[in-house]
Amino acid sequence: MNSAIDFTQLVTVAAGILTLLNLGTMIWMIFTGPARKLSGRVSELEDRASEQDKRAERHAQQLIGLSQTVNAMPGVQQMHQLEVALSDIRGDLRTINATMEGNAKIMARLEDVVTRHEQHLLDGGKR
């Protein structure tokens, strides 16, 4: 009977210790749980901020590249000079076209003459 009492007392003491441990764990979680959640959220926000910084740096580099490209483009004066040069080329092409048309007419007359000579030679001068 003595062992039954010891066992009951042992169970009671163990239950009390486990209750105190459970209560201590609960209090620990109450005070440290939000801190853990916040630290996780803070690290997530820091990661996002780091990604945003990298993205902003990439955008800055792209803007620098675009700025250099725009600065290297021709200005209004250069575009006007190009337009004038193209106009001169257009005029020269018209002149060349007129000359080529004249040459084409001359070649057509020469072909007619050559065709008559060929025909005369083929006929054997029968006329």
The domain spans of the chain are 1-73, 75-127
Q: How far apart are CA 118 and CA 123, in angstroms?
A: 8
Concatenating the DSSP letter of every residue in 106-120 gives HHHHHHHHHHHHHHH
How confident is the model over 17-57, as pLDDT tens digits? 999 999 988 888 888 777 777 777 888 888 899 999 999 99
Q: How far apart are CA 108 and CA 105, in angstroms?
A: 5
At residue 4 the predicted structure's pLDDT band, cuts being 50, 70 and 90, is: low
How confident is the model over 63-77, as pLDDT tens digits? 999 999 998 888 899
What is the pTM assigned to this prediction? Answer: 0.41
